[in-house]
Chain A
Amino acid sequence: MSTPRWICKTCGWIYDETKGDPDSGLAPGTRFEDIPDDWSCPLCGVTKADFITLEEYAAQRAASSGPKTRPPRAKGQVGGEDAVVIIGSGIAGWTVAERLRERAPDRPITLLTADDGCVYPKPALSMAIGQGRSADDLVEYSGSDKAAELGVTLQANTRVMGIKPADKRLLTSKGNVKYGELVLALGASQRRRVFEGDAADDILRVNDLASYRRMRDRLNEGPLHVTLIGAGLIGVEFAEDLHAGGHYVTLLDLGEQLLGRLAPPPVAARLLEALKPHGIDFRPGVSLDSLEHDGGGYRATLTSGEALHTDLVISAMGLVPNIDLAKKAGLQVNRGIHADPADMRTSDPHIFAVGDCAEVDGRSYFYIEPIKRQAEAVAAALCGESAPFERKPTSIRVKTPSLALNLCPPDLSVADLGRWVLEDEHGAACRMTFMAQGREAGYALSGSEAARASELYEAVCRDMTAA
């Protein structure tokens, strides 16, 4: 228990001296002080300076006096013709508020959110069980505390029902709100599919703290059998974290391997090998067909016709950007809300989009590092400055303790123009690069090879710039 541990203020990743960070070349036992300054958080990429001890972290949160439940109604004017109004209190929404406040100390900012506005590190949702943290432990600030700190008017528990771009006003469940400039940080939702059966409504979709809390409440009932639909990034991370919490997992996916298009088959196969000793039961080529109540649990019938008894079903079939509001308002949308990389402006000059809901050149960025850069671009544009959003390849550190995995899938523009090349393999370790048009356009690393991620990432970025 006395092991010194440091936590990343940005994403909640914890550095444990006894374990080190072998993927980045830090042997177990490496003291925090001895970590080189150019080392970066393996999950979100911030530097060592952004780490504090767990004790400091706990003390900071204890000092934050606000309630952990619903905040009281925010005081102060909501919106206004001179105000920047941000819709959404996820990482994207709050980061825009932070970056804008840094640049414009007196600008009126209103943040509207359907939930209570609390601040929490979203990546932690797929590793909190293993870290021994409850849903409440993840809350860093209450919405009202964060709003007070930033001088932002928070209108919590308020849904935006419509946008009228021509009149620059919003229709909310508490009445109209005017805006001068509007920032859409609407997030994404887990893909919804209709399943048969009288218990189909009980299937959980986890993509925010409220739904996560609901899942943890169910898991507290004791060791459960959990069926996960979808073996993509969230599916495998949940599978590992649920196993860490003593639960039994069956993982379904219509595809033939784990991680779908993110990983080439040899790397996916190694992850499967690493998961097997945990009893994680992966069923390739199969999904859920129907769910019926059965005693205290459920009877899940699979598309293969097999049936299994399960206690909890979680759907993780991938994220879909929340575009409904923008679409109804007549903004240009595709899969996400169209945004110009120069300033993240949508097709309306007074409306910006940022985070999971936004789409830049046909791509959505569901990861923290690019979202923070998008927020910077919006804050700059709102102040008449320029900080264009640079489209970099996506580097993913998969949160699977059984096997270190670092992935950089090729951009969709070249995904069909190249192939995976096996560079090296020994046991669980494997290094593959995606070669397209004579350049390195991506990589997939497992085991000890995962430590080479930053070196390869630089090469991919270099090649992309050259292209």
Chain B
Amino acid sequence: MTAMTPTLNTEPSAAPEGELLFNAIRDIVRDKLAPLTVKIDQGYYPAEVLRALGEAGAFRQHLASQSGRGEYDLQAALKAMDIVSQECMSTGFMMWAQDVVCWYIEMSNNDYLKQTLLPRLASGEALGGTALSNPMKYLAGIEPLLVSATETEDGFILNGSLPWISNLGPDHWFGSIFKVGGDNPRDVMALVNTSWPGMELKQLAKFCGMEGTGTYALFFKDVFVPKTHLLGDPLVPYLKKMKAGFILLQTGMATGVIESCIKLCEDVEPKLGHVNCYLDDRPDELREELEDAREAIAGLCEDPFNQDPDYIRTVLEARLLGGELVVKAANSAMLHTGANGYLHDAPAQRKLREAYFVAIVTPATKHLRKEIDAMAAA
């Protein structure tokens, strides 16, 4: 469901909504994405698919300023991601990245970015990533902040490096949190472009899957970031405001993969039902868990700006549940499909690798448990 926006800056044309939107996304999945799924898993970056999804309105459902309806419809954004993730979670993950880079601007007080860049990102014309893995771990007390900055009159000069940022390429945008030294030491967040002088992208690691997600190590050498690109300063109130949405938006990847794992199990039921009935986590049980989880997430999406600790904790729990269930469902898909699922290009083994990604990507299962534990002792 949706929450109403307090103010509307502009009046963009209304984005397609409801079944109109979802049918358009299903068409893109069938015609453009499905032929590329295996290639994307192995390293092909599907810019054209992302642009098509943006044109269809997938990235502006959760943006009151861009949807034309004045609503933060996180549920619609999640459903779009769910539909895509059923086919290819790499693409679903990049939808999250794109949704979130838009969310950064939407939640900021930066009218300049809202009027110039946000419409381009929301329509998929411009692309971008989140880059908050390190800062989120920093805020949870897991690791130090890796980018530092010197403040000048009209900007910041950044140095440092970040490992493994996704949905990047030349002239892509990402959000960066950096530690400012000098007279007014603080943490600040701003929007940065990968093609600005001093930025370097390096593809260093090779992963066992999801290789087409535009994942790079980022190096900053005296990168000048103008203050016109500020997102959060002071940082903490800004992060608090956008945190629930940031995390909730990830859950569409999990629900989509779970859905497709259940379908894989169901597909082999006529053939293997007589023996699959000996397995745990049968498709009907997984279906029940998935529907309960979707219902819980939908409830949380109605109130994304609630900062009550109990609400935030439940959001973390919902994200945790997504990670736990997706691993269980993918494991079940492997066992249900048997040797056919173990073939080189089989969906089941790809989904198993995708599922582990959900449980590993920040905030990872262990990170979430740590954060929930800390909240319980507060």
Q: Please, how many angstroms separate the alpha-carbon atoms of A213 and B328 in the complex?
A: 34
Tell whether, in the assembled complex, residue B293 and residue A171 are in contact, meaning their CB atoms are under 8 Å apart. Answer: yes
Tell whether, in the assembled complex, residue B378 and residue A211 are in contact, meaning their CB atoms are under 8 Å apart. Answer: yes
Give the residues from 300 to 329 in chain A that come closer than 8 angstroms, CB to CB, to chain B: 324
Interface string of B271-300 (1 = CB under 8 A from A): 000000000000001001100110010000
A211 to chain B: which residues have CB within 8 Å? 376-378
Q: Please, how many angstroms separate the alpha-carbon atoms of A176 and B313 in the complex?
A: 18
B307 CB to nearest A CB, Å: 10
CB nearest to B325 among chain A residues: A175
Q: Please, how many angstroms separate the alpha-carbon atoms of A172 and B285 in the complex?
A: 14
**A213-B292 contact, Cβ under 8 Å, with A157-B369, A175-B324:** no
Q: Is B318's beta carbon under 8 Å from chain A?
A: yes
CB nearest to A176 among chain B residues: B289
B325 CB to nearest A CB, Å: 6
A175 to chain B: which residues have CB within 8 Å? 289, 321, 324-325, 328
CB nearest to B318 among chain A residues: A161
B339 CB to nearest A CB, Å: 27
Interface string of B290-316 (1 = CB under 8 A from A): 001100100000000000011001100
Number of interface residues of A (CB under 8 A): 23
Residue from A115, A157, A173, A192 in contact with B321 in the complex, judged by beta carbons closer than 8 Å: A173
**A164-B292 contact, Cβ under 8 Å, with A175-B328, A213-B377:** yes
Q: Is B372's beta carbon under 8 Å from chain A?
A: yes
Tell whether, in the assembled complex, residue B317 and residue A161 are in contact, meaning their CB atoms are under 8 Å apart. Answer: yes
Q: Please, how many angstroms separate the alpha-carbon atoms of A462 and B364 in the complex?
A: 59
Q: Is A205's beta carbon under 8 Å from chain B?
A: yes
Q: Please, how many angstroms separate the alpha-carbon atoms of A204 and B375 in the complex?
A: 11
Tell whether, in the assembled complex, residue B377 and residue A162 are in contact, meaning their CB atoms are under 8 Å apart. Answer: no
Q: Is B320's beta carbon under 8 Å from chain A?
A: yes
Most interface-central of B292, B309, B325, B369 (chain A CB within 10 A): B292
Q: Please, how many angstroms separate the alpha-carbon atoms of A192 and B307 in the complex?
A: 13
Interface residues on B, range: 20 to 34
A174 to chain B: which residues have CB within 8 Å? 321, 324
B324 to chain A: which residues have CB within 8 Å? 173-175
Tell whether, in the assembled complex, residue B377 and residue A176 are in contact, meaning their CB atoms are under 8 Å apart. Answer: no
Tell whether, in the assembled complex, residue B289 and residue A161 are in contact, meaning their CB atoms are under 8 Å apart. Answer: no
**A214-B377 contact, Cβ under 8 Å, with A157-B369, A162-B292, A176-B288:** yes
Q: Please, how many angstroms separate the alpha-carbon atoms of A304 and B194 in the complex?
A: 53
B378 CB to nearest A CB, Å: 7
Q: Please, how many angstroms separate the alpha-carbon atoms of A175 and B280 in the complex?
A: 13
Most interface-central of B314, B376, B377 (chain A CB within 10 A): B377
Q: Is A159's beta carbon under 8 Å from chain B?
A: yes
Interface string of B336-373 (1 = CB under 8 A from A): 00000000000000000000000000000000010011
Q: Please, how many angstroms separate the alpha-carbon atoms of A176 and B321 in the complex?
A: 10
Give the residues from 168 to 213 in chain A that come closer than 8 angstroms, CB to CB, to chain B: 169, 171-176, 192, 201, 204-205, 210-211, 213
Tell whether, in the assembled complex, residue A159 and residue B289 are in contact, meaning their CB atoms are under 8 Å apart. Answer: no
B283 CB to nearest A CB, Å: 14
Most interface-central of A114, A115, A175, A214 (chain B CB within 10 A): A175
B49 CB to nearest A CB, Å: 32
Tell whether, in the assembled complex, residue A210 and residue B377 are in contact, meaning their CB atoms are under 8 Å apart. Answer: yes
Tell whether, in the assembled complex, residue B376 and residue A210 are in contact, meaning their CB atoms are under 8 Å apart. Answer: yes
CB nearest to A198 among chain B residues: B236
Q: Please, how many angstroms separate the alpha-carbon atoms of A162 and B310 in the complex?
A: 13
CB nearest to A203 among chain B residues: B378
Q: Please, how many angstroms separate the alpha-carbon atoms of A205 and B321 in the complex?
A: 27
B378 to chain A: which residues have CB within 8 Å? 201, 204-205, 211, 214
**A173-B317 contact, Cβ under 8 Å, with A115-B376, A205-B378:** yes
Give the residues from 45 to 81 in chain B that come closer than 8 angstroms, CB to CB, to chain A: none
A172 to chain B: which residues have CB within 8 Å? 321
Tell whether, in the assembled complex, residue A159 and residue B317 are in contact, meaning their CB atoms are under 8 Å apart. Answer: yes
Tell whether, in the assembled complex, residue B296 and residue A162 are in contact, meaning their CB atoms are under 8 Å apart. Answer: yes
Give the residues from 317 to 339 in chain B that come closer than 8 angstroms, CB to CB, to chain A: 317-318, 320-321, 324-325, 328
Most interface-central of A115, A159, A211 (chain B CB within 10 A): A159
Tell whether, in the assembled complex, residue B320 and residue A173 are in contact, meaning their CB atoms are under 8 Å apart. Answer: yes
B211 CB to nearest A CB, Å: 30
B313 to chain A: which residues have CB within 8 Å? 159
A394 CB to nearest B CB, Å: 28
B317 to chain A: which residues have CB within 8 Å? 159, 161, 173
Most interface-central of A172, A176, A204, A213 (chain B CB within 10 A): A176
A164 to chain B: which residues have CB within 8 Å? 292
Q: Please, how many angstroms separate the alpha-carbon atoms of A164 and B310 in the complex?
A: 20
CB nearest to A115 among chain B residues: B376
B320 to chain A: which residues have CB within 8 Å? 173
A161 to chain B: which residues have CB within 8 Å? 296, 314, 317-318, 321
Q: Please, how many angstroms separate the alpha-carbon atoms of A206 and B309 in the complex?
A: 16
Residue from B292, B369, B376 in contact with A176 in the complex, judged by beta carbons closer than 8 Å: B292
CB nearest to A170 among chain B residues: B292
Tell whether, in the assembled complex, residue B377 and residue A171 are in contact, meaning their CB atoms are under 8 Å apart. Answer: no
Which residues of B line the A interface, CB within 8 A?
A: 285, 288-289, 292-293, 296, 309-310, 313-314, 317-318, 320-321, 324-325, 328, 369, 372-373, 376-378
Beyond A159-B317, A175-B324, A204-B378, 9 additional contacts (C-beta under 8 Å) are: A161-B314, A161-B321, A162-B296, A173-B317, A174-B324, A175-B289, A175-B325, A205-B378, A324-B310
12 contacts between A and B (CB under 8 A): A157-B369, A159-B313, A161-B296, A161-B321, A171-B321, A172-B321, A173-B324, A173-B372, A174-B324, A176-B289, A205-B378, A324-B310
